[in-house]
Copies of this chain bind each other. A is one copy, B any other.
Amino acid sequence: MSDGSPIPETRVLAVASHVVSGYVGNKIAVFSLQSLGCDVAALNTVQFSNHTGYKQWTGSKVSAQEITDLYQGLKQSYLDDFDMMLSGYVPGAPALEAVGQIGQELKRKAKSKPGSFFWVLDPVMGDNGSLYVAPDVVPVYKSLVPYANLVLPNQFEAELLSEVQITDMPSIARAIQVMHERYGIPHIVITSVSLPHPDHPVSSLSVVGSTMTSDRKARAFKIVFPAIDCYFSGTGDMFAALMAVRMREAVYNRGKDSQQQQQQGSALMERESWLSEDSVDALDLPLARAAEKVLASMHEVLTKTAERMEGAMRKAGEAGMNADGVGSGTGAEEKKMHLLKSKAAELRLVRHLDSLRFPQVEFRATRLYMG
């Protein structure tokens, strides 16, 4: 694009939580999308002072009715002309159902123009073996996945959706196949897979992605990248936002050989769900190209965050030694250190715009054998 954006004009509806301070949910997704040139409508499902990893926060949730009202407000003023939707954390089953209604309606509206609407659904339910939403949220997500175009579960969420226990690469391949078949979901990326595997060193993670064929067979790839020994919040939200843009970019640039296509984007953009023809190999999928770029951005931002965090925590530790009352008593000290650490671990996005916009791809997709 002549204006430096990697994608054509793109209007995205982003539905997720808002935090005043820090970078999770829409707070990180909106900036990620905007910095790559998207016109973002940001529908915030909560306004909290900070993310819940701090273990204390203030603020309030937006009701299901209010979510519906905000969408009706957009509709009545011709502001519902979205090319994409990105949905993240939604508090509770009724609110999630309201968001699901929006996604389904936008999908219905786009039916006569294949490829003109694409829904990226992040099924935020839990992590590391435990739910952090109410149990009645799980069936709602299961009912929504068939309407989405790209779903981004983490390993635990993939288990919930597929009902396959993931213990190794073959079982992850099975989980992907089950999700394609059961939900008809065209594109899947499982984020943060941590599994023993020959080409998987101890300190590495991978993402596993697949775009199904016309008969719902998986075309799977994995990308292995070095793990950073630190827990960051908001990585899933950042990943989802960047995937939305980079997927559109990869599809837009697909097979641009003629001059006409240079101007109009690829024919793939006009296929339902941007679904590559069956002849396209797993390693040649737009989804793989997109995931490579996203991981490159993520790795750069996380590395820079971790580097700076060390310094911040050293300073906090020193300050703690001669704390003025706040640091007295072990419990209070521990609490303060947890809060300072949470703050220092906030993703350092805004000072690293170039990592979002012009990442250096280092980690490439490789084949995932379907077991």
User: Which residues does A use to contact B, with CB under 8 Å?
Assistant: 1, 3-5, 9, 18, 20-22, 27, 30-31, 34-35, 37-44, 47-50, 54, 56-60, 62, 66, 69-74, 76-79, 336, 339-340, 342-343, 349-354
> Which residues of B have CB within 8 Å of A77?
49-50, 54, 56-57, 339, 342-343
* CB-defined A-B contacts under 8 Å, sample of 8: A9-B351, A21-B41, A22-B41, A49-B69, A49-B70, A57-B77, A59-B73, A77-B339
Q: Is the CB of A50 within 8 A of B74?
A: yes
- Given the contacts A42-B27, A70-B59, A3 and B340 also touching, CB distance less than 8 Å: no
What's the Cα separation between A58 and B349 when bound, in Å?
Answer: 31
Q: Is the CB of A57 within 8 A of B37?
A: no
Q: Is the CB of A57 within 8 A of B73?
A: yes
Q: Is the CB of A49 within 8 A of B66?
A: no
Shortest C-beta distance, A313 to chain B (Å), equals: 13
> Which residues of B have CB within 8 Å of A3?
351-352, 354
Q: Is the CB of B78 within 8 A of A339?
A: yes
What's the Cα separation between A349 and B74 when bound, in Å?
Answer: 20
> Which residues of B have CB within 8 Å of A41?
20-22
Q: Is the CB of B73 within 8 A of A58?
A: yes
Q: Is the CB of B40 within 8 A of A350?
A: yes
Q: Is the CB of A44 within 8 A of B18?
A: yes
Among B9, B20, B60, B342, which residue has its beta carbon within 8 angstroms of that of A74? B20
Nearest to A336 among chain B residues (CB) is B78
Shortest C-beta distance, A62 to chain B (Å), equals: 7
Shortest C-beta distance, A122 to chain B (Å), equals: 19
Shortest C-beta distance, A264 to chain B (Å), equals: 17
> Which residues of B have CB within 8 Å of A66?
59-60
Q: Is the CB of A79 within 8 A of B59?
A: no
Q: Is the CB of B78 within 8 A of A49?
A: no
Q: Is the CB of A20 within 8 A of B4?
A: no
> Which residues of B have CB within 8 Å of A43?
20
What's the Cα separation between A135 and B117 when bound, in Å?
Answer: 46
What's the Cα separation between A331 and B293 when bound, in Å?
Answer: 49
Among B35, B56, B352, which residue has its beta carbon within 8 angstroms of that of A76? B56
What's the Cα separation between A299 and B15 when bound, in Å?
Answer: 32
What's the Cα separation between A238 and B31 when bound, in Å?
Answer: 16
Nearest to A11 among chain B residues (CB) is B21
> Which residues of B have CB within 8 Å of A69?
49, 58-59
> Which residues of B have CB within 8 Å of A35?
35, 350, 353
What's the Cα separation between A24 and B74 when bound, in Å?
Answer: 15
> Which residues of B have CB within 8 Å of A9?
351
Shortest C-beta distance, A86 to chain B (Å), equals: 13
Among B42, B339, B353, which residue has its beta carbon within 8 angstroms of that of A20? B42
Contacts A31-B34, A44-B47, A49-B74 given; 15 further ones with Cβ under 8 A? A3-B351, A5-B351, A9-B351, A20-B42, A20-B74, A30-B31, A34-B349, A35-B353, A38-B350, A56-B76, A56-B77, A59-B69, A77-B342, A78-B340, A79-B343
